[in-house]
Amino acid sequence: MFTHVDHGIVLPKLTRKSTEAGRRYFTPDGSAYPSITTVLGILSKQGILEWRKRVGEEEANKISTQAATRGTAVHKLAEDYIDNVEKWSEGAMPSNIASFNDIKKIVDERLDNVWMQEEFLYSDRLKCAGQVDCIAEFDGQLSIVDFKTSRKPKKEEWITSYFIQASFYAAAFYERTGIPIKQGVILITVDGSEAQVFKVNTYDYLEHFLKVRKQYKIEKGI
């Protein structure tokens, strides 16, 4: 059983909507901010276009749909398991349970004192928003914890966007609460391989976010 911390923090409620330009979050004062995943999408745009051309549109659509479905399913399993839901795996596909079980071993040993899961965060200063997977202690340190799925093992230099995302969530959480979170943790379940754990200092990637956010505004005008 995981301990859930009674921290007394109440975050502002947001609404969100998918648009042709990407997902938008709407704050209580009426501001509309792009999602962090939409902003970071400009980093991989060219690579994705080249990949789709290489494998063909039909195959690319198939792979993308399967990846999105699997990612959503594994996130839900993680959320329910960490929320101490008794029948957390009921109704899930065996392949998705197997994927989560690779992460589960790590979660059981290294994660506890959960502050929140699947909460909306936004920053008026950074003009961006998103939904953080989990904020909890990992290896005894309060952390932004993000769950990812992958067909192949990742190298650290390939996943800078994951670290930037964790950095943004830490900055947005600090803006809303005044509580700093210095550690970002990326847990990746990999097909046919051991799960991967990447830990970063969130402060190290804030400048990276600022550069990407500036470029996004130049390209999209938002």
Per-residue pLDDT tens over the stretch 81-118: 999 999 999 999 998 999 999 999 999 999 999 999 99
Per-residue pLDDT tens over the stretch 2-49: 999 999 999 999 999 988 778 999 999 999 999 999 999 887 654 443
The maximal CA–CA distance of the chain, rounded, in angstroms, is: 51
Give 67's pLDDT tier (boundaries 50, 70, 90): low
If you average pLDDT over residues 124-152, what whole number do you get? 96
Give 65's pLDDT tier (boundaries 50, 70, 90): low
Domain definitions of the chain by residue range: 15-220
Cα–Cα nearest to 37, from 206, 203, 166, 195 = 166
CATH class of domain segment(s) 15-220: alpha beta
- d(CA 96, CA 53) in angstroms, rounded, equals 29
Give 151's pLDDT tier (boundaries 50, 70, 90): confident
Cβ proximity of 1 and 114 under 8 Å: no
Task: Please give the pLDDT value at position 19.
Answer: 82
Per-residue pLDDT tens over the stretch 197-207: 999 999 999 99
